[in-house]
Amino acid sequence: MARLRDIVFDCHHPASLARFWAAALDGYEVAPYDEEELERLRNLGFSGPEDDPSVLVEAGSGPRLFFNLVPEGKVAKNRVHLDLTGDDVERLVGLGAKVLACPEDGLVVLADPEGNEFCLVTRQVSLRPA
């Protein structure tokens, strides 16, 4: 038996994408940096949290989210995406998401600021494979 521990995003700017997802998801926040972690970053040649190549977002329950720096950009549709529930599309767009499609009533396909697709289910719909 296995349990989901982390969801990992490859991205160009981990700090800003981590802030987006921490704001988008209820109960999540960017993990705080203590002096030991700041010193570790400095020893690796990074000036601080904004340049951190691997940023953690966590909640009291649920999987952790890691945002890891990669040199290449996103070139195709995600192989895995998140499905969220809620009704505040405008808030997500205000945070930097982009609406990509509304394939059926109650389902909105969005992209985060780096283009990673995710779905927002706004009411009970039958989700089918995309």
Burial 42-77 (b: 16+ CB within 10 A, else e): eeeeeeebeebeebbbbeeeeeebbbebeeeeeeee
Tell me the pLDDT tens digit for each residue of 58-111.
998 889 999 999 988 777 878 788 999 998 999 999 999 999 999 888 899 999
8 A C-beta contact, residue 97 and residue 112: yes
Q: Give the separation between CA 120 and CA 118, rounded to whole angstroms.
A: 7
The percentage of the chain sitting over the pLDDT mark of 70, rounded to a whole number, equals: 95
Instruction: Tell me: pLDDT of 27 over 70.
Output: yes
Tell me the pLDDT tens digit for each residue of 75-89.
787 878 899 999 899
Average pLDDT, the chain: 90
Q: φ and ψ at 36, to 5 degrees?
A: -65, -45
Where residue 129 falls among pLDDT bands split at 50, 70, 90? Answer: low
Domains of the chain: 1-73 (3.30.720), 74-130 (3.10.180.10)
| H-run or E-run covering 91 | helix 89-95
Residue with tokens 């490859």: 10
Where residue 50 falls among pLDDT bands split at 50, 70, 90? Answer: very high
Q: What is the pLDDT of residue 108?
A: 93
Instruction: Tell me: pLDDT of 128 over 70.
Output: no
Residue 37 class from Cβ within 10 Å (0-12 exposed, 13-18 middle, 19+ buried)? middle
Q: Give the separation between CA 63 and CA 60, rounded to whole angstroms.
A: 9
